[in-house]
Homo-oligomer: A and B are copies of this chain.
Amino acid sequence: MKQVPIGVSARHIHLSAEHVEALFGPGYQLKPMKPLSQPGQFAAEETVAVIGPKGRFDKVRILGPARSRTQLEISRTDSYVLGVQPPVRESGDIAGSPGIELEGPAGRVTIEEGVIIAARHIHFHTSEAAAWGIADKQKLRVRVRGERPLIFEDVIARVHDTFALDMHIDTDEANAAGVKTGDLAEILDADN
């Protein structure tokens, strides 16, 4: 049985180094608070305010380290609060996605694009993927037996030798299934 731990992603933001400075001040470095499941990634002590046309979230957690481009990941539920219509995308694929306003202690930044709903995916270390016969970008069916059992289809495999086994879903998906971080999912097969 191909079992994978679930990691539930609440709304969060990745900032470019430029935007870290614009929001927190020149030369500012994010302070790691907690390591994440993927090696080298961390939840920072810092948060930013995210301001949409309809509503705002005052404390959105920043995940580090800084990336080449700023990216806000929210749920569909969050998108209704903010008043934006983000597409479901893989991380990094932000072309044509909506922008939003960010506010930190040292300033404001308006990004022209970068708001997405993260497509559900599983991180595999190269060796695990090989052992299970799973290829990078492959779409998988994954059963989750929480309080409200369901099978996620089109779960994207992401394979890399820096990755640790983890299935990332957002809060809407976690709540629909009745699961939380640390629960286990089962890969049923490969769709294509």
Contact = CB atoms under 8 A, between A and B. Distances in A.
B154 A76 contact: no
A150 B143 CA distance: 10
Interface string A41-68: 0000000000000000000000000000
Interface in A135-164: 143, 147-154
A171 B88 contact: no
A148 B175 contact: no
Contacts of A178: 76, 88
A123 interface: no
A150 B150 CA distance: 7
A106 interface: no
B77 A77 contact: yes
Contacts of A148: 88, 119-120, 152, 154, 173
A176 B77 CA distance: 9
A82 interface: no
Given A77-B171, A88-B148, A176-B176, 18 more contacts: A75-B175, A77-B77, A77-B175, A148-B152, A149-B153, A149-B154, A150-B150, A150-B151, A150-B152, A150-B153, A151-B151, A151-B153, A170-B176, A172-B172, A172-B175, A172-B176, A175-B176, A176-B177
